[in-house]
Structure 1
Amino acid sequence: MTLTLPRAVLFDLDGTLADTAPDLAAAMNRVRTDRGLAPTPYEVLRPVASAGARGLIGASFGMKPGDDGYEDLRIAFLDTYEAAIAVHTRLFDGIPALLDQLEERGLSWGIVTNKAARFTDLLVPQIGLGRAGCVISGDTTPHPKPHPAPLLEAARRLGIAPEECWYVGDDLRDVQAGRAAGMATVAAAWGYCGDAEPVTWEADRLAETPLHVLEWFRAAR
């Protein structure tokens, strides 16, 4: 599918720009060991990392919001994660080169995540993303993704029309939010993706690696 190159590219954070699963899983398992429980296997936790506390607690404890004890677990997990938020987190291979290419072309880029600002503001500068043109967290607007409000706010802050933006993310809600905001969408198949196959999300394009996105821009020289 041919896409018109954008004036700005917006990215999800967890599972798209950064591999945050190691630190998220470590925090979840610290909560378990503090309670005398064996760690949950990493391969169980990694696919749900993009879903944050809800997904990780669900995978590790079989609990959901509203269940007895869920809120205590959520608070313990978030506090533990905040204390060790960037120990093992790294940008995915190819992301630095992709961001450099966007900047060389004079294009804007930003971050739109459902991660709360409490964590986003702490993490982003530690992993080399402090130069983002905008950072929209899960509590920046009244509605998180898949609502389009965070993406529309990002476009507003960049001063670029939504239809001139791409949104890249590794979760179905990213594609839904981008579509609702009138943006072209790219499914990041290198990310966590949950239990779903990104090819089924009906994104405008599927990228297997960040280098695929980079190649699209290089081909348009």
Structure 2
Amino acid sequence: MTRPPFLQAPLAILFDLDGTLADTAPDLAAAVNFLRTERGLAPTPYAVLRPTASAGARGMIGAAFGLTPADAGYETLRLQWFDRYQSAMSVHSTLFGGVTELLDGIKAAGMAWGIVTNKPARFTDPLIPQIGLAHAGCIVSGDTTPHAKPHPEPLLEGARRLGVLPQHCWYVGDDLRDIEAGRAAGMVTVACAWGYCGAIEPAAWGADFLLDTPADLLEMLRGMADAGIGARMSA
């Protein structure tokens, strides 16, 4: 897929979940530290765990226990972490500041929006209504399609569910794989510096835009609307 030769206002915006729309790291970290305290170990500092939150079990268990998926004991910890997290997913998780206003602005502009996350549906389905995102136009979880990001298929599935061509969608995420997936899907990509971001600086991801706050994205969209920069309605 190729991107249009000039930037257009999107017909739809797809978002990553953890670290993009919602600050879920506190509950993710609490679950892995529960496993540590069960084993008589001191909690891993939150400042160490937070940047790994977008990497899910691999990131959290790697940071808290120094294990990779290839190591003995990793799978047991992963399953226990899943169970613990599922029991307390929304104790401290909230939307990032400005996200509600951003989503309201997108709706007011007549654009669609949805969620494409690598989080399994086991967690996504109950969590999304608990944190105020039940009005998403689509929800594509990490196990909705045979592939997870950075493969483009979850993003393409999101576009199909919204009834919008991929080239008229933007994808917003806080991890390098989000930008890789968006680029592979032919979408304009937005890196959100307000998220977890991981070990590689967002400026190095090659996103079309790097923004500091949800309000920056809303301001950009409003500026495009004021300038009359519209998206073509056909392929």
Asked if TM exceeds 0.5, the reply is: yes
Corresponding letter in the other structure for 2:199: D
CA displacement 1:81-108 (0-9 Å, x = unmatched): 0000000000000100000000011110
State the TM-score, normalized to the length of structure 1.
0.98
Other-structure match for 2:102: 98
Other-structure match for 1:153: 157
SS in 1 for 2:113: strand
Question: Among 28, 33, 37, which residue is 1:29 paired with?
Answer: 33
Question: Among 5, 10, 16, which residue is 2:9 paired with?
Answer: 5
Question: Among 63, 66, 72, which residue is 2:70 paired with?
Answer: 66
Matched, 1:126 2:126: no
SS in 2 for 1:185: strand
Corresponding letter in the other structure for 1:213: L
Structure 2, unmatched stretches of 5+, are 1-5, 227-235
Structure 1, unmatched stretches of 5+, are none
TM-fit CA distance, 1:24: 0.3
Other-structure match for 1:181: 185
TM-fit CA distance, 1:218: 1.9
Structure 1 runs of 4+ with >4 Å offset: none
Other-structure match for 1:88: 92
CA distance in 2, matches of 1:4, 1:164: 8
CA displacement 1:145-172 (0-9 Å, x = unmatched): 0000000000001100000000000000
> Cα–Cα, structure 1 residues 196 and 184, in superposed 2: closer, same or farther, change >3 Å?
same
How many residues are paired up? 220
CA distance in 2, matches of 1:31, 1:15: 22
SS in 2 for 1:153: helix
Other-structure match for 1:75: 79
SS in 2 for 1:177: helix
Q: Percent identity?
A: 67
TM-fit CA distance, 1:217: 1.6
Root mean square deviation, CA, Å:
0.8
Corresponding letter in the other structure for 2:102: L
CA distance in 1, matches of 2:204, 2:69: 27
